[in-house]
Chain A
């Protein structure tokens, strides 16, 4: 019962981007296309899952005073693995995500979940938490990227969806479009919450 609750909370109730407002840097930087959003989402989910498992396994032997450096080393190791695997097998995606792959280390979602959840709960719950939060993050990235890619390039996942007469608004995939899109989506989220 609790397992499914921990798994599902990341999608709406505790959504890392729209409700907790964590990890905004990669969110805004990589959502220029749905493909990039998916890539970043899965990379972060993988790191979150692995680091949650390890942190929750070592929670009894972690000295509380130096726990943050320990968590950072665990996270950084998995980020390095993701970085190298992506460079080897998905070079195009690796190139377009660029700097933001090593920067997964400082993504507040991952350190936040290690500190707030995995260090206090058992391995099974930590897995549920990581998968839920990771997929919630991925889903939010895809939603933002959907708006930006359709408005800014007229495509979705690279396939043209708008009529040819539509002249794409370039601003949606530039930096200002990122802020404005997320601002309106968050306002929409607040409105829906109030109506309930």
Chain B
């Protein structure tokens, strides 16, 4: 399999087979919290894709050129979370200054992303993941693309969920099921559907 084939497998795995939300249980707070309206779901999704890609790139460099050479791998958690927090802050300032229109649509979601465990999750997973056909660890490009695809996977289910929940508003539900309980049950049925992808051999 060529490199492109390898990339296709990585994309399918990150988006469908090992979906961050439904199979790995990462990033559930925004998944249930920001999925009430379609526009805010799309905004949040875009912000997550952006931050996850950037965070994958920077944490990879920190891991490879700072933590491993000085043999301080045990500081990984602290180093990564600080990097992500400052990255988010930095991105927020840059966007606010240079692209006010973009800031208006993404701005409110950016601070929430620091505590989105999907971002820290992808950074840690990138350092432990191995490519499917060999025993080599992810290189720089692999990590960045894995961050991008995982973010896309998150956005796909977030937007789908927002669409479903908007229709749910009209439904005549028992009082105790309204809100969070029914959202969780919908999520369960979605996870069941995504389980079907696990049978794929690629």
**A interface residue numbers (CB < 8 A to B):** 21-22, 24-26, 28-29, 68-69, 72-73, 76-77, 79-80, 83-84, 99, 102-103, 105-108, 111, 171, 174-180, 182-184, 186-188, 190-191, 194
Residue of B whose beta carbon sits closest to that of A30:
B25
Tell whether, in the assembled complex, residue A176 and residue B188 are in contact, meaning their CB atoms are under 8 Å apart.
Answer: yes
The CA-CA distance from A28 to B187 in the complex, in Å, is 12
- B1 CB–A CB distance under 8 Å: no
User: Which 6 A-B residue pairs are closest in the complex by CB-CB distance?
Assistant: A179-B188, A183-B184, A180-B188, A29-B25, A190-B176, A187-B181
Tell whether, in the assembled complex, residue A21 and residue B32 are in contact, meaning their CB atoms are under 8 Å apart.
Answer: yes
List which B106-162 residues lie within 8 A (CB) of chain A.
114-117, 120-121, 124-125
Tell whether, in the assembled complex, residue A179 and residue B125 are in contact, meaning their CB atoms are under 8 Å apart.
Answer: no
Tell whether, in the assembled complex, residue A69 and residue B82 are in contact, meaning their CB atoms are under 8 Å apart.
Answer: yes
The smallest C-beta distance from A31 to any residue of chain B, in angstroms, reads 10
Please indicate the chain A residues that have their CB under 8 angstroms from the CB of B187 in the complex.
179, 183
Tell whether, in the assembled complex, residue A175 and residue B191 are in contact, meaning their CB atoms are under 8 Å apart.
Answer: yes
Given the interface pairs A80-B78, A102-B120, the reply to whether A175 lies near B180 with Cβ below 8 Å is no
The CA-CA distance from A59 to B181 in the complex, in Å, is 37
The CA-CA distance from A95 to B32 in the complex, in Å, is 28
The smallest C-beta distance from A72 to any residue of chain B, in angstroms, reads 6
The smallest C-beta distance from B47 to any residue of chain A, in angstroms, reads 16
The smallest C-beta distance from A192 to any residue of chain B, in angstroms, reads 9
- B27 CB–A CB distance under 8 Å: yes
The residue in A22, A177, A182 that gathers the most chain B C-beta atoms within 10 A of its C-beta is: A182
Tell whether, in the assembled complex, residue B191 and residue A72 are in contact, meaning their CB atoms are under 8 Å apart.
Answer: no
Residue of B whose beta carbon sits closest to that of A21:
B180
Tell whether, in the assembled complex, residue A180 and residue B28 are in contact, meaning their CB atoms are under 8 Å apart.
Answer: no
Residue of B whose beta carbon sits closest to that of A193:
B176
Tell whether, in the assembled complex, residue B195 and residue A174 are in contact, meaning their CB atoms are under 8 Å apart.
Answer: yes
The CA-CA distance from A114 to B174 in the complex, in Å, is 36
